[in-house]
Structure 1
Amino acid sequence: MDLPTVAIVGRPNVGKSTLFNRLVGRKLALVDDRPGVTRDRREGDVQFGGLSFRVIDTAGLEEADDDTLTGRMRMQTEAAILAADVVLFVIDARAGVLPADQPFAELVRRSGVPVILIANKAEGGAIAGAYEAFSLGLGDPVPFSAEHGEGLGELHEALKTALPEPDSDAEDEEGPEGRPLRVAIVGRPNAGKSTLINRMLGEERLLVGPEAGITRDSISLDWTWRGRRIKLHDTAGMRRRARIDDKLEKLAVSDGLRAVRFAEVVVVLLDATIPFEKQDLTIVDLVESEGRALVIGLNKWDLVADQPGLLKTLREDCTRLLPQVRGVSVVPLSGLAGDGVDRLMQAVVQASEVWDRRVSTSRINDWLSEATSRNPPPAVSGRRIKIRYATQVKSRPPHFALFGNQLNALPKSYTRYLVNGLRETFDLPGTPIRLSLRTSQNPFDKS
């Protein structure tokens, strides 16, 4: 079912992201005392007293040239206004109406979209600014406190009047077959994550530019590829923690980590002109430790495509540098030109299928018998380690349990041998594999 959309707009630092978090019921948007924290449009689904809608948090409206970062942020907000069914225009009730509010109030009026005027930060009777808001010509202001949740009843009544009637004939697309595949795009700053997602969507949905670190929030977007529903997550660029001094960037990186944990498949985007930097390897380690399906994208491939044999060399480098995800798909692409996006998505879907794969216990034990006969486990204190039985305990990622005696003494080299054997025998390339060792506690076991 297509939900109506509600866009939250206003000057920087009037509490738009706090209002967004209040409506969605979770702290999805980054909030800080500094203005200009939000740069991209962030979306979230809301269930509010029987009302269902999608809310969009936007960058603060500021006057600036179109070719500047601030100007591009403003254009993103203007696009959100035009696409919305209702606009929540937020002012700071404590500061009152400022000169900067007037041109943007005029912009909202001209859009023809129904507007609800929110006088935020009106807790404790701070409503003088709310009265001034009448001068904007946007109707009666709703005194509100996004921080404390005051005024929710009045906002509900205003939204109930302004939102379009729900389409009773619309079909609910959710359910086991309609659930979207969750895909996070991660990487170092300026690897081209937002540019790639814009190319996928076919619109300038995310803010991009030459400046590194434009994306701060983890942005969730709905997309359909070949009839399959995809939920894309664009994330802030991840740098080494030792180089992150700014509180806001720490919040943004934490937000990216949450996106990785929420995702089913993670695309680690590398800059093909400087691939496999130390931070790239650290990010892959993070994805593997979180147990997510993985695809590596070599972005900006158009800049190096004239180098013969480079792709083969980089795939060999990947195998050498990332043995923990042996066989992972390495896909050359150009987010700017749109080349390779289809190949990338084919690899994403294949990675999700491998991640979700289950193997029968009989097949696993046939493999185990052959693997231990070919290369028996070592002896400890004169007594040979014996692996009697194996089974897959779960998928997403594939997780296997081994049962036997003295397994806690099994060398890491032998567990690597077993993991590689599982990966090759049961066609599990690139996905994290978990192995639990369960030693028999039977006191009568003398074997």
Structure 2
Amino acid sequence: MFAFSPQVQDLQQRLLAFMDEHIYPNEDRYYNEAEALGPWKVAPILEELKPKAREAGLWNLFLPDSGHGAGLSNYDYAPLCEIMGRSHLAPEVFNCSAPDTGNMEVLARYGTPEQQARWLTPLLAGEIRSCFAMTEPAVASSDATNIASSIVRDGDHYVINGHKWYTTNATDPRCRICIFMGKSDPDNADRHRQQSMILVPMDTPGVKVVRPIAVFGFYGVPDRASEVIFENVRVPAANMLLGEGRGFEIAQGRLGPGRIHHCMRLVGLAERMLERMCRRSLSRVAFGKPIAQQGVTLERIAHARILIEQARLLTLNAAHRMDTLGNKGAKADIAMIKVAAPQMACQVIDWVIQAHGGGGTNNDLGIASAYATARLLRLADGPDEVHCAQIGKLELAKYR
């Protein structure tokens, strides 16, 4: 099962070559620009490299719809996503970064022709960016039925009110459209039919991007987390996605592929960090010999290799099962990787920090931001505890 098609192998080689020529040499510039300019502006290196990626035919590889993207399955895209995950700079350069990927998938799958023409087409072209507003500061959003934001019908419009945060991309000046999740039918007896998703242009009166939110002290890299208030925001009824009460249905269709992407990017990131650990331990001398010869270092390198391989194989298997069984049929596999991959990456990167000593805690080598990415993904798209509860229930169901 773990052989890749000639098309995928060709894309792997082309991606690796692009990474060597354009991504790795520009990482320092990317981090410096992101820090100097802050989360309200765009790092110029991103806009310089995007045309090169597009010209190289390495654009929108994530989208399985061959009419819009590369037409690759989840399994086909997974090893390409791993390569991109090796660098924080890479995913956006290839127009394959969250949350735009998930939002484009939603629009491609559930959007009307009019919605697709207005928003999907410029997103596919990389002309604009988007955000996804789900998490709220006032409730435990790990249980999304808690969402308190409201979507109320008023004639030919909906009126939206809500307070969101960790709304990735909202501070980006290119962000033009938001997919907003809120309650349109709060009294529905089915708690999973109370919510809807609706398109909110970011320039609509009443939308206020309050502030960027630092993720472990980082603004803009690894994430443009943002706090946004929606106050009496009026949008046309035609902006509703799929129909009232179908927000959870859209969310499940959106989050399945996104979790594969997150996990494979983490595998790539952990590989990159393990390389750093190996090179560092071979060159760094402590107590009269390279730290690579210290028993604890050898053991950590060995366990890192085991953990990475386990996470990769588990994620590829989940991608294969998604392609063959659908999101629902692969729900246990998706939940397992969403627990295993971030925990793996956190542990591997923690060992990398130890191997680098104090220098591992600054961001000269991107190690600290790599850890921030891994740690935030133990929460994003559902915390470990929620996924573990689902896995446990599915396992127990076999014996009832």
Please report the TM-score for the alignment, with normalisation by the length of structure 1: 0.22
Of structures 1 and 2, the one scoring higher in RCO (CA 8 A, sep 6+) is 2
Structure with a larger share of its residues in strand:
1
* Bigger proportion of residues as helix: 2
